[in-house]
């Protein structure tokens, strides 16, 4: 039996009944990516989303001068998705890449659509998940303006410690909206306090 704990964690919703969960789980396929593999490349249309069973991935874009800027990190038991491309059926502006070897549950767009239109509790879960993501996105935008780089680093350390263990410093710095040297200074300051 394959480990489904990531699916169980993501699809936790009070309205789900066992038969609905069985159908949802059955629509997912276990796939593996090697470190450096792309789950999605810019200018391609996303035709699926993934639930990360193990590993670490990130989403990034290139700024107007060609610098690689990390948008988000995806940890275990999180959904790896490019929402705009998947649901609006437009080419992605983002790249999604495995930072480590990753094991994921994949669900295709058509399978998702079929479940979405046939299982009411899945629609409710989807609305709830999307509302939470909208809130988190808004919160991140505000925090980029209202909190210090050190506070953003500490939040990342608290919420996603594996990112600090596994992601290159340059990617962490761009995610935090700071330079590599600022990140090094923050890390040194915090280690000196210990």
What are 154-179's pLDDT values in tens digits?
A: 999 999 999 999 999 999 999 999 99
83 CB burial (10 A radius; 0-12, 13-18, 19+): middle
**Whole-number CA gyration radius for the chain:** 18
Q: Residue 39: what pLDDT?
A: 98
pLDDT at 144: 93
46-60 residue pLDDT tens: 999 999 999 999 999
Contacts of 87 (CB under 8 A, 6+ apart): none
Determine contact, residues 51/28, Cβ cutoff 8 Å: yes
3 vs 42, which has greater pLDDT? 42
Q: What is the mean pLDDT of residues 127-135?
A: 93
List the domains of the chain with CATH numbers: 5-121 (2.60.120.10)
- pLDDT above 70 coverage of the chain, percent: 98
The whole-number pLDDT of residue 184 equals 92
């Amino acid at each position: 039996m394959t480990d489904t704990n990531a699916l169980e964690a993501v699809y936790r919703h009070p309205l789900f009944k066992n038969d609905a969960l069985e159908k949802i789980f059955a629509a997912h396929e276990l796939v593996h990516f090697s470190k450096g593999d792309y789950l999605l490349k810019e200018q391609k249309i996303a035709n699926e989303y993934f639930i990360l069973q193990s590993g670490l991935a990130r989403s990034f874009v290139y700024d107007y001068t060609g610098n690689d800027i990390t948008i988000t990190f995806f940890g275990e038991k999180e959904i790896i998705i490019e929402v705009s491309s998947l649901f609006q059926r437009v080419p992605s502006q983002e790249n999604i890449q495995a930072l480590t070897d990753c094991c994921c549950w994949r669900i295709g767009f058509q399978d998702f659509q079929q479940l979405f239109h046939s299982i009411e509790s899945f629609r409710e879960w989807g609305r709830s998940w999307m509302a939470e993501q909208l809130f988190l996105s808004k919160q991140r935008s505000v925090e980029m303006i209202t909190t210090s780089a050190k506070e953003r680093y500490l939040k990342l350390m608290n919420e996603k410690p594996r990112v600090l263990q596994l992601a290159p410093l340059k990617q962490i710095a761009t995610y935090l909206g700071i330079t590599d040297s600022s990140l090094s200074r923050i890390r040194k300051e915090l280690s000196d306090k210990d």
